[in-house]
Amino acid sequence: MKTKKEIIDNRPKVKVQIDYRTVITVRSEQAAKTWMEKYPAAKIID
């Protein structure tokens, strides 16, 4: 019987909502700011 190894990812993640149905996950605040410059209606969500 095989056991699955748990993946541990401690990198920070920031969720950005581009529009009412599109949510992306980025790894840094700077990346989030870049997306928000491209899409003025974007907002950071938790």
Comparing CA positions, the residue from 12, 8, 46 lying closest to residue 26 is 12
Instruction: Enumerate the domain spans of the chain.
Output: 14-45
pLDDT tens profile 1-46: 788 888 888 888 999 999 999 999 999 999 999 999 999 999 999 7
pLDDT of residue 35: 95
Q: What is the pTM of this model?
A: 0.70
pLDDT of residue 6: 86
What span, in angstroms and rounded, lies between the C-alpha atoms of 14 and 18?
12
